[in-house]
A = this chain, B = another copy of it.
Amino acid sequence: MTLHLINKTPSESSALRDSLSAVSNGDALLLIENGVYAAMPAYAELFTRLPGSVQCYLLEDDAIARGLKDLNQDFRAIGYDGFVELSCRYGKVVSWF
């Protein structure tokens, strides 16, 4: 299973769209850097076709830096330690940028 790492907004690159088309059941998504903006409620529709088995995370440090709150509830906020733990738990990490 794969951890998909996305660091761009939905507008600045097609990284998010491409990653969503490449997930398998049981994979996870982690939004970092500018990627965290994708967890704004206005972008929720992008994630509606994800299999329910795909867990969604965002890097809290990046969301705090950008003043983001009231984000999409489907995303769990984690710190860098959580990021490392996810990298261990999933078999590999694929970066989309």
Residues of A within 8 A of B (CB): 11-14
- Residues of B near A12 (CB, < 8 A) are 13-14
- In the assembled complex, 4 residue pairs joining A and B whose CB atoms fall closer than 8 Å, in A order, are A11-B14, A12-B13, A12-B14, A13-B13
- Residues of B near A14 (CB, < 8 A) are 11-12
- Residues of B near A13 (CB, < 8 A) are 12-13
A21 to B52, CA, bound (A): 37
CB distance from A53 to the nearest CB of B (A): 29
4 tightest A-B contacts by CB? A11-B14, A12-B13, A12-B14, A13-B13
A13 to B12, CA, bound (A): 5
CB distance from A77 to the nearest CB of B (A): 27
A13 to B14, CA, bound (A): 8
A29 to B32, CA, bound (A): 35
- Closest chain B residue to A10, Cβ basis: B14
CB distance from A34 to the nearest CB of B (A): 13
